[in-house]
Amino acid sequence: MIRFVSTRGGIAPVAFDEAVLQGFAADGGLFVPDSIPVVSAAELERLSTLDFPALASELVSRFVDPAVIDHARLRTLVADGFRAFDARDVVELVTLQGSGGLRVLELFHGPTLSFKDLAMGFLMNVVDDLLEQRGERLNIVLATTGDTGPAAAWAAAGKKRIDCWPLYPLGMISDAQARQMTTLEADNVHPVAVEDCRDGGDDLDLVVADLFGDGDTRRELKLSSVNSINWCRVMMQAVHYFHAYFRTVEAVGDPIVFSVPTGAFGNLFGGYLARAMGLPVARFVCANNVNDGLHTAITTGSFPRRDLVQTPSSAIDIVAPYNFWRLLHCVTGGDSARIRRWMDDFTARREARLDDTTSRSLRDIFASAAIADQTTLDTMRSVHSESGYLLDPHGAVAVAAARAVASELPSGVPVVCLATAHPAKFPDVVARALGGDRGLPAAARHPSIENARHACQHLRLCSLEHLRSGLAQAMRRQIVRRTDG
């Protein structure tokens, strides 16, 4: 059975439940499976006939020891994670009329309209199930500057054994994103808006790290670092690549290319995992905006840690894409000594230098591009005027990147661009991109966003200075309330 090791190599292998509940490995690395299960060509044929939830169960079960979660139960946890989706088969694959028959894979049909919903429902279901088995509860704290907080809040809502505390810097996330958390009616979700965050999410990350760093507090408050880096999310994010593949190629076995708007490399690592499991992906396009650390690493072998630049595709404004370490772990055949050195150089010297063999392996698998803000806006406008289809800014980065590297891609192979958010989450960017004053097109609206605009908000407001003590106090009260109840 598959066990999980750390990218930094400093822990004994653990079973699936420990990897999920610990989040980060104890040595500060990320969990990766000790081997990757391969799907044979014959099995691929069989998987090609399944609907999305059944496909997801099949793929995910290969990483889960049935002694930890039996596979019939796992199927329920997977299927429940997609219940709030509004697409018939969880995601939608559209081929545009015009714009050169562009293929767009829409990953935003979940309750908070971003691709984060795909895995977050499943993650929270698994965590709640494992806690139920153990008779425990957890407080999940996560700092968010984008789509993760809303997705986690919705996925945690109503869970019996979880209290979820999404923290966000006041005024630094969009009103629509904040309202997705603050208008949610669930007595186990406690959004906290934090005032005076000059460095945005980084300020919050420091407070969270401080809380977790104190072992006594962590135990007293039953804190968990179940968060973005969780293995549950990564493996679930491999599924849409299989799904889109089966609906795009003429025959199973034919090649395909995916272009992926990339921030923390979680979505793209899901793609890499799908390929490593046997999906015939010829190449991926790693689509960065001007926060181009990954593009630089892939094209030059130098992986720099740069300062953050705010762009219209804010969900990929990321300078430390932690899932990239998972990729390097796989590409180097699990050379954790090298990963440790690179991670440390990246932090201390703000640059990791990859060796030639690793660089070459990366370039075989990934093409990459860094897309300027104006190109993102131009792509939204031109695709909309050519085909009537409205891309969100992240989908536009993927399309622009696929076009920028077209000459590096195998000819005649279909290219699928991943659209990771509904455009209604970014009305200001849509207005800038389309220009004029005819008002927003209907595709830039969504009823759930409209409804949230009129609903009452409930949130805690706290200054950054008092966040640590304020949060601990709120959690203590909540624990008392739970115990009395």
**Contacting positions for ligand PLP (CB under 6 A):** 114-116, 146-147, 261-268, 315-316, 394, 420-421
Q: How far is the CB of 81 from ligand PLP (least distance, A)?
A: 17
Smaller CB separation from ligand PLP, 82 or 462: 82
Q: How far is the CB of 315 from ligand PLP (least distance, A)?
A: 3
The answer to whether 109 and 103 are in contact (CB under 8 A) is: no
Alpha-carbon separation of residue 253 from 24, 49, 278 (angstroms): 36, 15, 10
Residue type, 52: F
Residue carrying the six token digits 């309750």: 111
Q: How far is the CB of 227 from ligand PLP (least distance, A)?
A: 12
Smaller CB separation from ligand PLP, 163 or 392: 392
Q: How far is the CB of 313 from ligand PLP (least distance, A)?
A: 7
Lookup: tokens for 439: 């008002």
Residue type, 113: L
Q: How far is the CB of 418 from ligand PLP (least distance, A)?
A: 8
What is the DSSP pairing of strand 103-106 with strand 415-419? parallel
Q: Give all strands (DSSP E) within 267-411, no chain letters.
A: 281-288, 302-304, 351-353, 366-370
Smaller CB separation from ligand PLP, 82 or 426: 426
Q: How far is the CB of 99 from ligand PLP (least distance, A)?
A: 20
Q: How far is the CB of 229 from ligand PLP (least distance, A)?
A: 11
- Give the distance, in angstroms, between the CA of residue 264 and the centroid of all CA atoms in the same chain: 7
Q: How far is the CB of 4 from ligand PLP (least distance, A)?
A: 19
- Residue 439 φ/ψ region, left for φ over 0, alpha for ψ in the -120 to 50 degree band, beta for the rest: left
The answer to whether 81 and 122 are in contact (CB under 8 A) is: yes
- Give the distance, in angstroms, between the CA of residue 444 and the centroid of all CA atoms in the same chain: 22
Q: How far is the CB of 270 from ligand PLP (least distance, A)?
A: 8
For residues 224 and 215, give the distance between their C-alpha atoms in angstroms, rounded to a whole number.
11
Smaller CB separation from ligand PLP, 22 or 144: 144
For residues 292 and 353, give the distance between their C-alpha atoms in angstroms, rounded to a whole number.
15
Number of C-beta neighbours around residue 204 at 10 A: 24
3-state helix, strand, coil in the chain (%, to 5): 45, 15, 35
For residues 192 and 173, give the distance between their C-alpha atoms in angstroms, rounded to a whole number.
13
For residues 71 and 300, give the distance between their C-alpha atoms in angstroms, rounded to a whole number.
44
For residues 140 and 212, give the distance between their C-alpha atoms in angstroms, rounded to a whole number.
11
Residue carrying the six token digits 């993760």: 148
Q: How far is the CB of 401 from ligand PLP (least distance, A)?
A: 12
| 252 CB burial (10 A radius; 0-12, 13-18, 19+) | middle
Interior/surface letters 438-453, b for 16+ CB within 10 angstroms, e for the rest:
eeeeebbebebbeebe
* Cβ-proximal residue to ligand PLP, closest one: 266
For residues 354 and 357, give the distance between their C-alpha atoms in angstroms, rounded to a whole number.
8
The answer to whether 217 and 472 are in contact (CB under 8 A) is: yes
Q: How far is the CB of 206 from ligand PLP (least distance, A)?
A: 20
Helix 323-331, helix 266-276: angle, nearest 10: 30
